[in-house]
Structure 1
Amino acid sequence: MEENKMTVSSPFGLHLVHLDLKGAPPKVSYLAEIFPLFHTLGANGLLIEYEDMFPYEGELKPLRAEHAYSASEIKEILNLAELHELEVIPLVQTFGHMEFVLKHQEFSHLREVEMFPNALNPHKEESLMLVSAMIDQVVALHDGLRWFHIGSDEVYYLGEGEESKQWLQKEENSIEKLCLSHMKAVASCMVSSYPEVKPIVWDDMLRGVSEETLTESGVAQLMEPMIWDYAADLDEDDKGGYSEKVKENVEKQLGLSSLEIDTFMSESSGTFPGSDIFTLVTQVCCYLKPSVDEFLERNRFVTGWFSPYHRKRRIVHPIMMHHFQPDALSLLAKWNAVMQELQAALERVFYMCTLEEWMEENVHPSFHKLQEVVDDLDKAIQAQS
């Protein structure tokens, strides 16, 4: 989730929270908990990047993720947003970041480069028909839209497809013109179908384009650019900067004694919705994982008396065993407790696929290493008896 602000030319002064739903989308029940916090912190809008979580129908149905929101859930999200005075702006990628579309066999022929599913081929009429169909379905579920974001950031490998290479052989053509022509086509399509809705586009692909080329393209009249940047030093003194007062207010609203990372383990870990996950993840990353590495690699009784050599041959000295077995069992018990708590906390907010991925990548490797040592120790003890 990121905060994005409309450029100065926007008359509406929207302060948006970017809900990027690709990767680890939350359940609607969690959004109901977090929307009031967004409002309290000063947001008055949501930029919702649905990606594969939108309930596409018909020929677009393959785009749906396994746990995509239903149409009724989309309506619930919109009702919750309205309840908390958050204007919704949908974001549908129409150029780059099209993996969730172009990874499917049905649409793979529309890739800019055959082997990469990230960018759409801007030369094919079917490409425009595809993104128009996506936009139509999203607009249909959103009443009273004023803005619609057509994405278009990070269009990697643009110009490297075979059709683009041929097109670029003409002296008057350039990658900038190719980019602008597709953006203009998508925006024109939108304005034609929905004249009351203003298209928004990320600005990163436009930064290197000359003012003359931009003027000639006619895109300025069709869409509003939105700054795409992760820099921490944006000059925002006119729409509110990050001050000590702001920091203290955020800490109060989140229930944190400090936003500084080095205090997370020693101080309260918050009262905001999902703070239980934050606390448990912090325990896993800052305590449990390092403690397993410390035990297995730097505990002199383990490295000296129960090395891989000893474990393989089930050899353990009865006296030395008592120097590390209690620590191994205690650490394993802590892991088990945290794993169960974390699984329950994650399941409340996320879908099972997200839970399984996070646990497999961040919890299971350390836990299994520790479990294997305890199991090998039991086998060695049995072999000695």
Structure 2
Amino acid sequence: MTCSPWPKGKKLVHLDLKGAPPRVEHLHRLIELLSQLGADGLLVEYEDMFPYESGLQLLQATAQPAYSREEVLSMQEFAKSRGLEVIPLVQTFGHMEFVLKHRSMWHLREVPHCVGTLNPHKEEGVELVMEMLRQVVSLHPGLSTLHIGADEVYLLGEGEDSKGWLSSPGHSVEQLFLSHVTKVAKAIKETWPHLTIIMWDDMMRSMSQDTLKASGLVGLVQPMLWDYTPNLDVDKTVSLLEKYCSAGMSDLWAASSFKGSTSVYTCVTCTQRHVDNHLQWLKVSASLSAAINLRGIAITGWQRYDHLSVLCELMPVAVPSLAACIQTLVYGEFSSEAHNKVTETLGISSVEVEAMERTSAGETLFPGSGLAELIVELSRLLNSEDLRFFESNMYMRGWFSPHHQRQKIVNPLMAMQLHSQASVYLETLEKKVEALKKEMVDLYPAATTQEWIEEHVSPVMAPLQRLTEDVQACLKEMVP
């Protein structure tokens, strides 16, 4: 199928700030680039980086300072000056880990062991959500659209309050979900009648048209259907969007992905995977009936799968993927023109970050390109078989087994060979890590650098360091 460019509607880029929050100067450089590439807006998920005040101050990040009020405003003003709308995303039901992890909020969980899901029966929970929204909306002057999340509301219906509610005839988990979201949406409309409300669609996918029609949500919210897979099922997605439309929700959004959806710990982005996802979404948009008003697409870039999971790819290694995805939507395909636009704008030879080489030494390079190059180099080294399987190589298994180490009787010549190999790897890693730290300091807070190194480098370096110490200890017993 030949597709047209993305139809009328916004192309939003998702900035997930719940991990590796960029310094504001770096954010500005990213926004500048996004405007050049053809984005129309930002979907900003602040989470614990928002400067919550008063009783909500405990929600602010502690690993690094949250953005200040001035920084949040300057980001919006800069985006606006480049023609980009800013839409904040505030979770109001599921994925509330950053709120419900705090001891003083534990009583608001649906079940004690699920940190993400809010108990929908406690009025205090709705008041909490509304106060979060009030603070966010007040710090976004001129705001016209708000995203209230509501995806992946795990274990809903399993709390004691919910079990009691569900025991009444005619009550279902579907209705439980819909009643909370409707309550929040109505409260938003009463407070800010002009606001358009977007929400994730996944909790409604299995609901019937009649259930949705009767929910009270029609006319209050615009569902955003997300699918980040390269082999997205076009027919299934079209029929789902048509179902929402038939239920009275004709204003709909799509959500694709440019990073953060391959695996929970992915470190380097594969551009082709994400371009394929966008090609599928173009097929979806070309197949929709005229009754559907596709308001736009959010190109998501998850930084963590949830607040308590590890970091996904950092933004710099995903910039080529993001640029390629936007251009795929602009051209309706990833044509040679789209490819050239990306490589020329970014000053690189390939849209795959693992294969890119600089074509310019000047300032036209994309923000964070130096860090992207280092991460690719370091990842290649960390994943090399020689390094990753060092403990099972011939010398280790043959001359420095656990038995040898316990007995402290080794062949000194072989042990010295092992020590030398391990020391070379350690020295190489240490040099690259120092270079990485220098690049990261301008882009991210120190906590991000530390976390990235602890996640990716330390698990490989620590066994090598132990090995060099163990070899030295054995050699002391064997060599005069």
Please report the TM-score for the alignment, with normalisation by the length of structure 1. 0.88
Describe how 1:1-385 pairs up with structure 2 within 5 A: 13-66=9-62, 67-232=65-230, 233=232, 234-237=280-283, 238=286, 240=329, 241-245=332-336, 246-260=338-352, 264=354, 267-268=356-357, 271-290=365-384, 291-298=386-393, 300-312=394-406, 314-315=408-409, 317=411, 319-320=413-414, 323-383=417-477, 384-385=479-480
Summarize deviations over 1:43-98 as a string: whole Å, max 9, x none: 11000011111111111111111221111111121122123221100111001111
> Would the alpha carbon gap of residues 288 and 128 (structure 1) be closer, same or farther in structure 2, given more than 3 Å must change?
closer
- Residue 49 of structure 1 aligns with an amino acid whose one-letter code is E
Q: Is the 8 A contact 2:29 2:367 kept in 1?
A: yes
Distance 1:187 1:353 in 2: 36
Structure 1 residue 260: Cα displacement: 4.2
- Residue 335 of structure 2 aligns with an amino acid whose one-letter code is E
Q: Is the 8 A contact 1:289 1:366 kept in 2?
A: no
Q: Is the 8 A contact 1:269 1:279 kept in 2?
A: no
- Residue 211 of structure 1 aligns with an amino acid whose one-letter code is Q
- Residue 48 of structure 1 aligns with an amino acid whose one-letter code is V
Q: Is the 8 A contact 1:56 1:137 kept in 2?
A: yes
Cα RMSD of the aligned pairs, angstroms, is 2.5
- Residue 372 of structure 1 aligns with an amino acid whose one-letter code is R
> Would the alpha carbon gap of residues 305 and 173 (structure 1) be closer, same or farther in structure 2, given more than 3 Å must change?
closer
Structure 1 residue 315: Cα displacement: 4.8
Q: Secondary structure at the match of 2:181?
A: helix
Q: Secondary structure at the match of 1:219?
A: coil
For structure 2, the residue ranges without an aligned partner over 5 or more in a row are 1-5, 233-279, 287-295, 297-328, 360-364
Structure 1 residue 318: Cα displacement: 5.1
Summarize deviations over 1:217-244 as a string: whole Å, max 9, x none: 2212111111222133433255834423
Distance 2:440 2:429 in 1: 16
> Would the alpha carbon gap of residues 313 and 87 (structure 1) be closer, same or farther in structure 2, given more than 3 Å must change?
same
- Residue 27 of structure 2 aligns with an amino acid whose one-letter code is L
Q: Is the 8 A contact 1:314 1:376 kept in 2?
A: no
Structure 1 residue 365: Cα displacement: 2.2
Percent of aligned pairs with the same residue? 42
Could you tell which deviates more after superposition, 229-238 or 38-47?
229-238
Structure 1 residue 123: Cα displacement: 1.7
Distance 2:160 2:358 in 1: 53
> Would the alpha carbon gap of residues 167 and 302 (structure 1) be closer, same or farther in structure 2, given more than 3 Å must change?
closer
Distance 2:136 2:41 in 1: 17
For structure 1, the residue ranges without an aligned partner over 5 or more in a row are 1-6
Q: Is the 8 A contact 2:415 2:475 kept in 1?
A: no
> Would the alpha carbon gap of residues 235 and 372 (structure 1) be closer, same or farther in structure 2, given more than 3 Å must change?
closer
Distance 2:347 2:390 in 1: 34
Distance 1:201 1:295 in 2: 48
Structure 1 residue 268: Cα displacement: 1.8
Distance 2:166 2:56 in 1: 31
Q: Is the 8 A contact 1:251 1:259 kept in 2?
A: yes
Structure 1 residue 131: Cα displacement: 0.8
Structure 1 residue 306: Cα displacement: 3.7
Distance 2:431 2:378 in 1: 11
